[in-house]
Amino acid sequence: MPREIADTEGITWTCIQAYSGLTEVTENQDAAQVKGQEDSYWVVCTPSGGAKSVRLQLPGDWESSYSDEDLLNEIAAQQQEE
């Protein structure tokens, strides 16, 4: 399920676990899992504006455990790395 958050610049980010479009839930989980790291998954966040999508490595419960601010901080940190 996608999660939308808005930053202070008015950009709305849509974040979703990578490979969520696959039909099998277990196949989705296996494909999105970060290899060699238990309970760590790839999440892709796509902006509504001109910024570039980012790929984040987050824990399996990111949808419920991360606040909007935490996700925006992860996005900003990833943008600075690129």
pLDDT tens digits along 34-67? 666 777 888 999 999 777 999 999 998 899 999 9
Number of Cβ atoms within 10 Å of the Cβ of 41: 21
Q: Which of 77, 14, 82, 3 is nearest to 49 (CA)?
A: 14
Helices assigned H by DSSP within the chain: 25-32, 62-65, 68-81
**Which tokens go with 53?**
């999508």
Q: The whole model's pTM is what?
A: 0.77
Tens digits of per-residue pLDDT, 1-19? 789 999 998 999 999 987 6
Angle at 33 between CA 63 and CA 26, to 5 degrees: 85
**Which tokens go with 42?**
């790839």
**Which tokens go with 5?**
């958050």
